[in-house]
């Protein structure tokens, strides 16, 4: 039996609502205006839906410097969420979410769940700190009714492996 078959599909898993603020700490970003930006290697996350939310690479430093955090656009491309496994700075048009359960794959799962709710937000109804704190999200639960972080991790790892196989298959076909 393959590893994948042991994992319940999403539609068969039990889900429950949770307040986002109970899962992550939510902080505001801080703008680095164009005239202040120093070219460098530190990703500066802005409110774009492209390039994992990275608008610039800078050599500036401020209090928003964080790694293993999720950015959520509150302006611009409102509602898009991205996981940053690397140190990055966060602009004011984003919110920095610091997961209380530190795991790359669980954080990637959270970004998907958050982004799925982007349709209810817009320019006139921004995804600001207050709304994010009171945002409910559905997450898979274990038999105790707690968030099933292990399931989320396995689900995302399997997805990553599937994508890697697609890439390998593509190059294999090119070679043959």
Domain boundaries, the chain: 4-175
Quote the percentage of the chain above a pLDDT of 90: 78
The crossing angle, in degrees rounded to 10, of helices 104-115 and 149-175 is 90
pLDDT band at 131 (very low <50, low <70, confident <90, very high): confident
Q: pLDDT tens-digit profile of 39-94? A: 999 999 999 999 999 999 999 999 999 999 999 999 888 889 999 999 999 999 99
Q: Each residue of 3-16: pLDDT tens digit? A: 445 788 899 999 99
Q: Are 29 and 94 in contact (CB under 8 A)?
A: yes
Q: Are 52 and 82 in contact (CB under 8 A)?
A: yes
pLDDT digits (tens, 9 = 90+) for 143-173: 999 999 999 999 999 999 999 999 999 999 9
Terminal CA-to-CA distance of the chain, rounded, Å? Answer: 30
- What number does CATH give the domain 4-175? 3.90.220.20
């Amino acid at each position: 039996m393959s590893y994948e078959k042991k994992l319940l599909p999403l539609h068969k898993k039990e889900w429950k609502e949770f307040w986002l603020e109970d899962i992550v700490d939510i902080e505001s970003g801080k703008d680095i205006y164009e005239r202040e930006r120093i070219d460098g290697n530190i990703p500066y996350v802005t409110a774009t839906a492209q390039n994992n939310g990275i608008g610039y690479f800078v050599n500036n430093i401020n209090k928003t410097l964080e790694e293993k955090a999720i950015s959520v656009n509150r302006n611009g491309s409102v509602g898009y969420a991205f996981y940053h496994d690397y140190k990055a700075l966060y602009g004011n048009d984003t919110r920095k979410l610091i997961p209380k359960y530190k795991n790359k794959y669980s954080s990637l799962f959270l970004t998907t769940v958050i982004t799925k709710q982007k349709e209810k937000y817009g320019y006139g109804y921004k995804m600001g700190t207050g709304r994010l704190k009171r945002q409910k999200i559905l997450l898979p639960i274990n038999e105790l009714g707690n968030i099933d972080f292990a399931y989320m991790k396995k689900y995302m790892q399997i997805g990553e492996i599937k994508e890697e196989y697609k890439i390998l298959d593509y190059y294999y076909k090119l070679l043959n």
